Amino acid sequence: MSGDAREIPLVAAPADGAAACLHCGTALPEGAGGNYCCAGCEAAARVIREAGLFDYYRRRVLDPDAPAPRSQAAPGIDLNRHVRAIGEGRHGIELVVDGLHCAACVWLIETLLRRDPRVRHARLNVSTRRLSIAWDGAPELARELVGRVTLLGYRAVPYTADNAARLEEREERALLRALAVAGFAAGNVMLLSIAVWSGHGGEMGQATRDLLHWVSALIALPALAYAGQPFFRSALQALRAGRTNMDVPVSIGVLLAAAISLSEVARSGPHAYFDSAITLVFFLLLGRYLERRARGRARSAARHLLALSGGIASRIGADGAAEPVDPAELRPGDRLMVAAGERIAADGTVLAGRSSVDASLVTGESLPQPVAPGTRTFAGMVNLSSPIELRVDAAGTGTLLAEIVRLLEAAEQGNARHVALADRVARAYAPVVHVLALLTFAGWLAAGAGPHMAVLIAATVLIITCPCALALAVPAVQVVVSGALYRRGILVKSPTALERLAEVDTVVFDKTGTLTLGRPELIASDGWSREDLELGAALAANSRHPLSRALHRAAPYVAPVTGTVEHPGEGLAWRGQAGTVRLGSRRFCGIGEPGDDEALEIWLARPDRSAPVRFTFVDPVRPDARETLAELSRRGYRIALLSGDREPVARAVASALGIAAWQAGLTPADKCRLLDDLARAGRRTLMAGDGLNDAPALAAGHASISPASAADVTQTAADAIFQGDRLRPVVAILDLAQRAQRLVWQNLALALAYNAIAIPLAVLGHVTPLLAAIAMSGSSLLVIANAMRGGRSAPS
């Protein structure tokens, strides 16, 4: 079908004969012009036709099992080893995209990938240029999806710290070389232009002026051809793929300025604009370089975290000898030798040796943590004392460190309302700017201006109308604030969390593990025997409730029993040989109403005993809990405590912390009902719970936060988690969320104000191409500089 100009539907027409998009089949509004529902479908259809893939894509839509053509494979790259399983029948891959310049590029790539019904997620981070794709189907589908991005004119390779760093370094060197050439040429051409300007109205003859103009052309034109390559190459790739990007109007503007100048020199005209053309390129390059450096400063901790998993690992071979390998080559089951002072390259379990590790990167704990055989370790930790031998449990993109990176970047670049606004503007950018430039050209011609002047003003409009500032307005703030929170031990998981946290007016706390440390300790025997303790610990090993953990810590040598059933908010049940054993609350174990004492307790009911036994614990509150709650109250937040514990226990904690609104004895369903009541009353609640048995309540809140160890990152249902023993991070995240909201609105206002002022001035002819280049770059830098304020010191 390549070269076929006919518009043939890719999908089957609707049964009722209604008009539908020829690419995706979406019903078109009655009376709508054109054959496509959006620019993405039109661009995708054009790419498919020009690449000769129409027949394949039509078969694929009608038959999802149709094989991919060879041209779709990404040559020279083994993608399968970079694909990760993320669920039953679902796979994903992380890519770094070369040639990405603006929000329009992001929108086009995401739109094209999401048109495939098998793709469940496709999001491109404008800051790190990291493309995350998830799909239902075989791992081999990665080759087709990557090939689809390549057909658009971009280059996509598997995302690793080395690949990202090499790409960044290569592009930065190319920009610096182009900047140096443009600067050298601009300085020399400017000196020649000064001589021409000073000769106007003086003694300079036409021959001398023409000579200086030709010398300027000999300097400027080769310099433009070299220094303009970053813009020209990107624009050419876009046009070949049948699309446009921000570099297309920039390139047209630069080439128009050079062409007008050459035309003037050829006919011995008095004016040439070589100085404007080359200085324009110089300032465009300078702006892009400074913007790249500013983005690098704003870039989140994610890139730095990935780099920490690099280096060389010492894998123990079958003969017992250690061999140096790249961490990407490690596989589960491999054995590693980690010397003192080395950073651990993969998640694993200690097999031999005793040492201490610096786990601050992963857990937020500043003190060294002891490790011994059986202890779990994570990539990024540093072995401090003695050599240890590990068994690899997860490596590469499967490590906890890689998961934290994915969560961070998901939070930095999500489809929040503000991002959706920027996407819509970017979608309309290309057609609007070209129509506006054409109308400007026609208007100036109609007003009596010469063709040269009209073309020059139209070129200025092409250059100055760039959505870069708007595209950066939201992601720059998200990147800076997410990184600042991570450095304070707070990991934001949800892409819309900051937006929702800024709207919070009520903070609801769970008690155990949230207001308290969640590390209760078993009190000496309260009528239970060693046999009771071991049976209770065997059941408790299957639960992540803080009291269950404490019970198992009292008998860590006991192996968990299999077949336990956990009843959220109530306890555990296990059917043994003698009958059902229960471990949990009084009510769950059939004792009746709670007692009046304030002790933390769980009960063990055995079928071979007439009376259940009680295990009691002590769980201290967090050291700064009272001060943190008082600070939240001073800031106008309403504070409440919803606990599943008995009334005396909850009353004691509420009294100690000064909480007036509290309820006890609640099930997870009760907590959800109360949170729904608050929402109907117009309250925006932040639910702070332990993230495990409180998952329904966390999901019911307007926003949620959970105290958790790094090992719980992927298990908690919260929007954010915080590390350590202090409760102060709750204040920090609310402060930074409100600051982020203010900065986002400020950036959007700056970007829209720039366009509202700059575009009319350019259309009216009050801006030269040189000033347009400075204004365009300056607006992006201003937005990034404002976003950097989000990383300033905040409560931690």
What is the domain partition of the chain in residue ranges?
79-164, 166-297+422-477+740-791, 494-518+622-718, 521-618
Query: What type of residue sits at position 578?
Result: A
* DSSP line for 298-326: HS-HHHHHHHHT-S-EEEE-TTS-EEEE-
Which tokens hold the place of 642? Answer: 């919803």
What's the mean per-residue pLDDT of the chain? 76
Q: Is the dihedral of CA 248, 250, 256, 259 positive or negative?
A: negative
Residues 6+ apart with CB under 8 A from 678: 506, 508, 685
> Are the folds of 79-164 and 494-518+622-718 the same?
no
28/8 Cα distance (integer angstroms): 16
| Count of positions (residues) in the chain | 796
- Please give the helix or strand (H or E) that residue 58 lies within, else none: helix 54-62
Pick the catalytic residue from 116, 247, 334, 510.
510
Q: Is 309 exposed, middle or buried (0-12, 13-18, 19+ CB in 10 A)?
A: buried
Going by the DSSP 8-state scheme, the letter that residue 524 receives in this structure is: S
**DSSP tally for the chain: helices H, then strands E:** 24, 27
Pairing of strands 600-605, 613-618: antiparallel
Q: What is the pLDDT of residue 28?
A: 64
Q: What is the pLDDT of residue 597?
A: 58
How much is the pTM?
A: 0.55
Q: What is the pLDDT of residue 714?
A: 42
Specify the CATH number for 494-518+622-718; select among 1.20.150.20, 3.40.50.720, 2.30.40.10, 3.40.50.1000.
3.40.50.1000
Is residue 704 a contact partner of residue 698, using CB atoms and an 8 Å limit? yes
411/302 Cα distance (integer angstroms): 11
Q: Where are the alpha helices (DSSP H) in 200-323?
A: 206-227, 229-240, 247-266, 274-298, 301-308
Which tokens hold the place of 218? Answer: 């000999």
Q: What is the pLDDT of residue 82?
A: 79
Q: Which CATH class is domain 79-164?
A: alpha beta
Our answer to whether residue 510 is catalytic in this structure is: yes
Q: What is the pLDDT of residue 793?
A: 59
109/584 Cα distance (integer angstroms): 52
397/595 Cα distance (integer angstroms): 50
Q: Which residues of the chain are under the pLDDT cut of 50? A: 1-15, 47-48, 50-75, 298, 300-301, 364, 366, 411-416, 692, 710-711, 713-715, 795-796
Beta bridge partners of 322: 316
Closest-CA residue to 298 (of 771, 794, 781)? 781
CATH architecture label of 521-618: 3-Layer(aba) Sandwich (3.40)
289/287 Cα distance (integer angstroms): 5
608/681 Cα distance (integer angstroms): 50
Is residue 730 a contact partner of residue 740, using CB atoms and an 8 Å limit? no
| Half-sphere exposure at residue 132, Cβ-oriented, CA atoms within 13 angstroms | 21
Neighbours of 12 (CB within 10 A): 11
Q: What is the pLDDT of residue 723?
A: 79
